Structure 1
Amino acid sequence: MKRISLSLLLLLALTGVTVAQQHSEQNHSKYVPPKDPLVQQKLSQWQDIKFGLLMHWGTYSQWGIVESWSLCPEDEGWCERRGPHAANWYEYKKAYENLQTTFNPTRFNPERWADAAKNAGMKYVVFTTKHHDGFCMFDSKQTDYKITSAKSPFSSNPRSNVTKEVFNAFRNQNFMVGAYFSKPDWNTPTYWDPYFPPKDRNVSYSPVRYPDRWQKFKDFTYNQIEELMTGYGKVDILWLDGGWVRPFSTIDSTISWQKTIPYDQDIDMARIARMGRSHQPGLLVVDRTVTGEFENYVTPEQSIPDQYMPIPWESCMTMGDSWSYIPKENFKSTRKLIHTLVDIVAKNGNLLLNIAPGPDGEWHEEAYSRLEEIGKWMTINGESIYGTKPVTPYRKEQWAFTGKGSSVYMTYLPKEGETLPASLPLTDISMEKGKTVTMLGYNKPLKVVKTTNGLTVQIPEAARKQLASQPAWVFRVS
């Protein structure tokens, strides 16, 4: 994932500017809609399902550290090296890459993940087939730095081709399937050339001065993606990370992290997209942060736009604090997660929620608990989420507005400790003749009375008792 420096976060906090406003992907004026009818159709399907699962998983889970970034020789907090090899980058990189020889997730059971995600109401999955460190969680023929290599103890397991197993398990539950793939690769010598030690996250040599070397990297990338597009069943989304690998002409100098990109790193996305769609018709291509025809939807990271956005978008966020597995995680409350989903959907987005498996191949049990609790709410209130469109004013104070067909859903997001009152004012809604108001989970019509300030819905005691434990309450006007 893209990282934002601590100093930038502090600056934003001091100036009152949100991280969301710093994301170029929220400048929707530059969005390019897809022209391919099959891509349009799949994009519409994806927009209707609203809620997905992202998983960051690799050898780094054994150390309980940030994914890949400790290899990056930048002076940033998330890149900080720890442990006995921290003082010497070359020794650290060797020890990190040697994790391949001990990675043995014997509790790997993707069916349990798929069941839990389905019961939570999730409808699509994006899995890290390869992160920036270059370690492949699939059986790539382009490298031996992979989980199926004889160097890896898990290679003898019949389920060692982890990506294939994950995709099959989720596809069997009717999920849309997405392949996360890192464009940069810090293991291959055609990106970080040993002759030119890296100074930062970028390619370590000038592609202009060494075009043959860069072409080898482009072909390496193309070939790995083609493996994923041809050997892993139906794939719906190609989710590309590492936005500094991009044509120099696309750099937005107003974005701090993009200003540090020193070279043109064009990997020929047109060729990649054409190949991907030749094998996977209608494939959604998400070249993150690289605005243009190969960013079919935009992906604000760990943030939610302040306002409704009229383009396809998805907030990718962590259930806890970290993208990768850490032994003691600080998971967000069920209430916070549901409010996040409702807020995003009311602004026309999807939520892609990250859970990180551990070195044994399992999630924290608390992650399962959160999904189960979310699922209970979605079982009652899912109709206000799936297949809906935002309705003006989208979000106002503690209300979120969506609609489907002839129904409008008004979701009330209570504050911490707030209980369901005997009456609530209905803002920004007009009651035409013949319209009724019900609460999802309590389908008897509710009484609506006119007041000097508009309309108020009265909530009977039976409904308040029945729905008291709900983290958000949905009123349907139909």
Structure 2
Amino acid sequence: MLIKQKTKSLFLSTFFISSACFSQAHNVSAGYLKPDDPLVVQNLEEWQDLKFGLFMHWGTYSQWGIVESWSLCPEDESWTQRKPEHGKSYNEYVKNYENLQTTFNPVEFNPQKWADAAKKAGMKYVVFTTKHHDGFTMFDTKESDYKITSPKTPFSKNPKADVTKEIFNTFRKDGFKIGAYFSKPDWHSENYWWPYFPPKDRNVNYDPKKYPERWDSFKKFTFNQLNEITSNYGKIDILWLDGGWVRPFKTIDPSVEWQRTIKVEQDIDMDKIGTMARKNQPGIIVVDRTVPGKWENYVTPEQAVPEHALSIPWESCITMGDSFSYVPNDQYKSSQKIIETLIKIISRGGNYLMNIAPGPNGDYDPIVYERLKEISNWMDKNQSAVFATRSAEPYHDGNFYYTQSKDTKTLNVFHIDDTTEYKTPSVLNVTLPEKFKPKSLKILGMGSKIQWKQTGNRIEIKLPEERTKLKLATVIQMTK
């Protein structure tokens, strides 16, 4: 997966890939426009301070342990594969998939347990899938009966049936910023995939210009659902819109393979949606993924991290396991790998949105809590170098990565080793940014006095035996 991006101020070359994954590539769109609404600018600044967020893909598909939604899409791609035991024909498969609604009963759902673990691990915002491409809503929409609160769904009898409300209220109470993921395409809607025609790919299966009344009905449906989310679920800080093929035809980038599959106009009227969202939620960040313009307030590389610092707001969404959705026996990344990824992202000016997928019972895999506890142990000692920081030159030098306080008086230098289990060396030789002359230096999490010597733009640091207690990564903090 190679992703390329050209902004107004710099050119990004390749991204490195953080994992093998069951998902599609997302390009990062060119032509970023800085918001001019002061409340949005303030919200973006606060969001950039948070650095570490929790992403959750969850729906009826967790019962089969398959990729979210994509098996419904009639494209021959790795993430669209259907298991024969779930249906011998495409139509039978779709019927059985949609029938998952009638068995979805995640009785172990306890958002406070998630919030407690995420908060201790240093996560400060949450983005939850209120509706993915399959159209099943995890909130109490009035626009469809294909929802978790429908009488057809066993969990509807549970007092916590509106899981979106429960998640948002719980995480908001614990100080998290709240993000609502929402899919613009809806493969369950008869006004997106019209049953008169078979679906051909991920796109609308008719020409909206030829059948404008049907497309207008879909636009109204989408608008109404987003109005529900931004009106009925308390303060929402981020509206995270996925499904970038639903876009004005003029915005298509023909250099991007999946965008070349878009053959018809799919303008959803983002001006109307965005204006409504800002009226309901003043200052809300709108992320219309991969669609350049005023409604893509930050960009979102997926399962990848830019090789260089970006001068625009950005966030990498990366899975803790291999999949965005729950799959049995998923391969979860080590806590060291997660911390290394966080360090690389924040050194380049971004945020890390780490996806954890709840299972069909309504809880995470037990190994997730182990990882979060290990991350929390590291974060307890090193959080001052992570949060409310910005990138700092030289950004990256060998195994060293840099951030700085927003007033530029404090420099943080992270030392990692992404080739083996981390052990802090007895001596660290660090390159300093130009004109940075530290007056004090400490190793976070270490109480012993540190010996250090500056020669030109280099510092040699000698670490005592106490260094062996440091895990995952070492953080040097200097103040001028």
RMSD across aligned positions (CA): 1.8
**SS at 2:28's partner residue?**
helix
Paired residue for 2:161?
160
**SS at 1:442's partner residue?**
coil
| Residues 420-452 of structure 1, C-alpha deviations (whole Å, 9 max, x = no match) | 222111123478666121100124542223569
The alignment-based identity, stated in percent, is: 54
Paired residue for 2:9?
none
Match for 1:342: what amino acid? I
Q: d(CA) in 2 for partners of 1:396 and 1:92?
A: 51
CA deviation after TM superposition for structure 1 residue 331, in Å: 0.2
Residue pairs, 1:325-474, within 5 angstroms: 325-404=326-405, 405=407, 406-414=409-417, 415-429=419-433, 435-450=439-454, 454-462=458-466, 464-467=467-470, 470-474=471-475
Q: In the superposition, relative to structure 1, how do residues 101 and 37 fare at CA in structure 2: closer, same or farther (>3 Å)?
A: same
**SS at 2:85's partner residue?**
coil
**SS at 1:239's partner residue?**
strand
Paired residue for 2:22?
none
TM-score by length of 2: 0.93
Match for 2:273: what amino acid? I
Q: d(CA) in 2 for partners of 1:434 and 1:241?
A: 45
Match for 2:296: what amino acid? E
Contact preservation (8 Å) 2:431, 2:457: no
Q: d(CA) in 2 for partners of 1:207 and 1:433?
A: 62
Q: d(CA) in 2 for partners of 1:166 and 1:389?
A: 29
Match for 2:28: what amino acid? E
Paired residue for 2:259?
258
Match for 2:452: what amino acid? V
Paired residue for 1:101?
102
Q: In the superposition, relative to structure 1, how do residues 131 and 407 fare at CA in structure 2: closer, same or farther (>3 Å)?
A: same
| Residues 46-79 of structure 1, C-alpha deviations (whole Å, 9 max, x = no match) | 0001000000000000000010000000111111
Q: In the superposition, relative to structure 1, how do residues 403 and 155 fare at CA in structure 2: closer, same or farther (>3 Å)?
A: same
1:25 aligns with 2:28: yes
Residue pairs, 1:227-266, within 5 angstroms: 227-266=228-267
Contact preservation (8 Å) 1:439, 1:474: yes
Contact preservation (8 Å) 2:320, 2:354: yes
Match for 1:421: what amino acid? P
**SS at 2:134's partner residue?**
coil
Contact preservation (8 Å) 2:423, 2:468: no
1:202 aligns with 2:174: no
Contact preservation (8 Å) 1:23, 1:255: no
| Residues 252-301 of structure 1, C-alpha deviations (whole Å, 9 max, x = no match) | 00111111111110000010010011110001000001011000000000
CA deviation after TM superposition for structure 1 residue 35, in Å: 0.6
Residue pairs, 1:70-109, within 5 angstroms: 70-109=71-110
Q: Give structure 1 stretches of 5+ with no counterpart.
A: 10-15
Contact preservation (8 Å) 2:14, 2:306: no
Q: d(CA) in 2 for partners of 1:166 and 1:418?
A: 35
Q: d(CA) in 1 for partners of 2:229 and 2:355?
A: 21
**SS at 1:141's partner residue?**
coil
**SS at 1:304's partner residue?**
strand
Paired residue for 2:125?
124
Q: d(CA) in 2 for partners of 1:182 and 1:302?
A: 18
Q: d(CA) in 1 for partners of 2:434 and 2:452?
A: 11
Q: d(CA) in 1 for partners of 2:308 and 2:259?
A: 24
**SS at 1:311's partner residue?**
coil
Q: In the superposition, relative to structure 1, how do residues 430 and 278 fare at CA in structure 2: closer, same or farther (>3 Å)?
A: closer
Equivalent residues, number: 460
